[in-house]
């Protein structure tokens, strides 16, 4: 969440930054937060004044009792009781206003980075780099959708996946399953130089999803296990971010870098009939996530490093790709700055987002209470968090089947994956 003190002390600057998101209602929400914050401080002042008066009355009652003025003492005690009732009412109001302020702050998105491109929606996202690895022309046999190739080779069996689990579930078989696993292992190996591998829980608490911003706003897109107050993770970002929730790290420990291969679960509410064929959009999929917790002055360098790493993996696979800068009007709730890496799928004739590289400033760390202490300085600061999809299987898998499809209908395996494919260099069928 944003810093209420920053909003209180410099409201016009915060409003100007928020206005860059091109959603006027957000500025109204900032005004509401300011009103609630002001009321909280007024209640605190009223409560302190009341308590001071009650203490004064208590002393005066003692003096009156000492000199035998019982009537005067009773009158002051009646006043004290009335003040006590008022203090109790203030305490109730304080709790209500405090909860209302927290709810507003949880709903307000992050402030955009000053360098973020201003825009109103995804149609204004500029191409930052590319296309890279884009051939001048694609052969006709590359223009076949991956779901047709996958079914023909027997490596994609969504019909039985639907029978098992319902719509928008997928199932890879034989070489298709091997390819999915190979992609994840390749992504892990590509980042093992500085990222510690974690296998985090796939079920997390409400507090964990709230820390990363998925809750409360995106509850409809998450799978809830209500009986146990747990949620299926939509991304390993949720688990990895909260590793240090409630902790104070030394600045010498930062940056800390984690990577994880997990299954991810998303209800994809509202996506019925949109990009749901083949592997393009599913309720469950595998992904390798890379994440860093850093000091504010380390954030820019780490952001660029995450992007380089994602590009390196996609480039090594030989896929056509481009980098898109996400404008302020298209940014996610928690994002301070964000870029997407997209690959081109000739069979679908479209660009597919395969990774988002995101810098959250202290927005998530403030929600999760992740702090650090600088050596030799008093107090603590909130850390910054960043993450990226090192590789999300479904769309990369799909792009490989389309870009590397051969004239005879088989699929060439990208050379960097050969060590992970049990000797297969061409996928000729299940």
- What is the per-residue pLDDT across 265-286, written as a single tens digit (0 to 9) for each? 999 865 555 567 899 999 999 9
Q: What is the pLDDT of residues 28-78, one digit of tens each?
A: 999 999 999 999 999 999 999 998 988 888 888 888 888 888 888 888 888
pLDDT band at 300, cuts 50/70/90? very high
Residue 118 has pLDDT above 80, yes or no: yes
List phi, psi (to 5°) of 51: -65, -40
Residue 280 backbone phi and psi in degrees, to 5: -75, -30
pLDDT of residue 58: 85
d(CA 71, CA 83): 19
Residue 141: partners with Cβ closer than 8 Å, 6 or more residues away: 405, 406, 407, 409
Give the domains, in start order, of the chain with CATH numbers.
4-107 (1.10.287.40), 122-427 (3.30.930.10)
For the chain, the distance separating the N- and C-terminal CA atoms, rounded to the nearest angstrom, is 49
Q: What is the DSSP letter of 209?
A: H
Q: Would you place residue 181 in the very low, low, confident or very high pLDDT band (cuts 50, 70, 90)?
A: very high
Structure confidence by residue, pLDDT tens digits, 343-398: 999 999 999 999 999 999 999 999 999 999 999 999 999 999 999 999 999 999 99
Tell me the whole-structure pTM to 2 decimals: 0.92
> Nearest 5°: CA angle at 335, between 331 and 340?
60
pLDDT per residue over 122-147, tens digit each? 999 999 999 999 999 999 999 999 99
Distance separating alpha carbons of residues 388 and 392, to the nearest angstrom: 10
When pLDDT is averaged across residues 178-200 and rounded to a whole number, the result is 98
Residues recognised as catalytic: 266, 281, 353, 356, 395
Structure tokens at 235: 């991304």
């Amino acid at each position: 969440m944003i810093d209420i003190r920053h909003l209180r002390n410099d409201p016009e600057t915060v409003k100007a930054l928020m206005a860059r998101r091109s959603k006027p209602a957000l500025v109204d929400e900032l005004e509401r937060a300011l009103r609630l914050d002001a009321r909280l401080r007024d209640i605190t002042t009223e409560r302190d004044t009341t308590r001071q008066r009650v203490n004064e009355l208590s002393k005066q009652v003692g003096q009156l009792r000492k000199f035998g003025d019982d009537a005067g003492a009773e009158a002051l005690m009646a006043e004290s009781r009335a003040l006590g009732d008022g203090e109790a009412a203030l305490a109730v109001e304080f709790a209500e206003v405090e909860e209302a302020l927290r709810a507003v702050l949880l709903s307000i998105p992050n402030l955009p980075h000053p360098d973020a491109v201003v825009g109103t929606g995804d149609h204004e996202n500029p191409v930052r780099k590319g296309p890279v690895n884009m051939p001048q022309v694609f052969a006709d046999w590359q223009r076949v959708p991956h779901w047709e190739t996958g079914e023909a080779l027997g490596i994609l069996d969504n019909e039985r996946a639907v029978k098992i689990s319902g719509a928008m579930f997928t199932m890879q078989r034989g070489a298709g399953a091997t390819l999915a696993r190979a992609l994840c292992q390749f992504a892990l190996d590509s980042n093992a130089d500085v990222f510690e591998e974690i296998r985090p829980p796939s079920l997390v608490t409400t507090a964990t999803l709230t820390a990363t911003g998925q809750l409360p706003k995106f509850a409809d897109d998450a799978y809830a296990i209500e009986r146990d107050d747990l949620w299926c993770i939509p991304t390993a970002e949720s688990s990895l971010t909260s590793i240090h929730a409630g902790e104070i790290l030394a600045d010498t420990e930062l940056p800390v870098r984690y990577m994880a291969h997990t299954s991810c679960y998303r209800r994809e509410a509202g996506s019925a009939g949109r990009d749901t064929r083949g592997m393009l959009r599913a309720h469950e999929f595998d992904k390798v996530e890379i994440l860093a917790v850093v000091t504010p002055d380390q954030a820019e360098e780490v952001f660029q490093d995450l992007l380089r790493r994602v590009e390196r993996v996609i480039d090594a696979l030989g896929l056509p790709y481009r980098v898109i800068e996400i404008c302020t009007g298209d940014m996610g709730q928690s994002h301070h700055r964000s870029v997407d890496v997209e690959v081109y799928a000739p069979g679908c004739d479209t660009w597919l987002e395969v990774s988002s590289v995101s810098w959250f400033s202290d927005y998530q760390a403030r929600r999760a209470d992740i702090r650090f202490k600088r050596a030799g300085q008093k107090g603590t600061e909130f850390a910054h968090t960043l993450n990226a999809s090192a590789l999300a299987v479904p769309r990369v898998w799909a792009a490989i089947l389309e870009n590397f499809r051969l004239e005879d209908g088989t699929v060439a395996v990208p050379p960097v994956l050969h060590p992970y494919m049990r000797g297969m260099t061409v996928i000729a069928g299940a």
